[in-house]
Amino acid sequence: MSTPRTATAGSSRLWFIFLVLLSGGSWSLVFSLGKIAGEGTHDSLGLAFWQGVGGGLMLLTIAALRRRRLPLDWRSLGFYLICGIFGTALPTTLIFETAPVVGAGTLAITMALVPLMTYGAAIVLGIDRGAALRITGLSLGFIAVLLLMLPTALDESMIGLLWLLLALAIPASYSTENLLLALRGPKGIDAIALVGAFQIAGAALLLPITLATGTFTWMAGPWGEPEWAALIMLLVNAPSYALFLYVLQRTGPVFASQTTYVVTVCGVVWGMILFGEAHSTWFWGALVVTMAGIALVQERKVERN
- Residue 9: predicted pLDDT: 56
Residue from 259, 256, 242, 248 nearest 199 by CA: 242
Cβ-contact 52, 199 below 8 angstroms: yes
- Residue 253: predicted pLDDT: 61
Q: Identify the domain containing residue 215 by its residue range.
A: 41-296
* Tally of structural domains, the chain: 1
| CA angle (250 as vertex; 25, 74 as ends), nearest 5 | 100
pLDDT band at residue 3 using 50, 70 and 90 as cut-offs: very low
Longest dimension (CA), the chain: 67
Residue-wise pLDDT for 46-99, tens only, equals 999 999 999 999 999 988 988 888 888 888 899 999 999 999 999 999 999 999
Domain contains 136: yes
Q: CB-based contacts of 199: which residues, under 8 Å, 6+ apart?
A: 51, 52, 53, 55, 56, 59, 84, 88, 238
Domain contains 185: yes
pLDDT reading at 273 higher than 70: yes
| Percent of the chain whose predicted confidence (pLDDT) is above 90 | 32
Cβ-contact 27, 260 below 8 angstroms: no
Q: Which amino acid is at 112?
A: A
Cβ-contact 112, 263 below 8 angstroms: yes
- Residue 156: predicted pLDDT: 58
Domain contains 35: no
Pick from 141-145, 189-193, 199-203, 235-239: least confident = 141-145
Domain contains 3: no
Domain contains 78: yes
Chain centroid offset of residue 66 CA: 25
pLDDT reading at 4 higher than 60: no
pLDDT reading at 155 higher than 70: no
DSSP calls for the chain:
---HHHHHHHHHHHHHHHHHHHHHHHHTHHHHHHHHHHTSSS-HHHHHHHHHHHHHHHHHHHHHHTT-----SHHHHHHHHHHHIIIIIHHHHHHHHHHHHH-HHHHHHHHTTHHHHHHHHHHHTTSS---HHHHHHHHHHHHHHHHHHHHHHHHS-HHHHHHHHHHHHHHHHHHHHHHHHHHHPPTT--HHHHHHHHHHHHHHHHHHHHHHHT------SS--HHHHHHHHHHHHHHHHHHHHHHHHHHH-HHHHTTHHHHHHHHHHHHHHHHH-----HHHHHHHHHHHHHHHHS---PPPP-
| CA angle (28 as vertex; 18, 13 as ends), nearest 5 | 15
Domain contains 23: no
Domain contains 171: yes
Domain contains 94: yes
Entry pTM: 0.84
- Residue 284: predicted pLDDT: 87
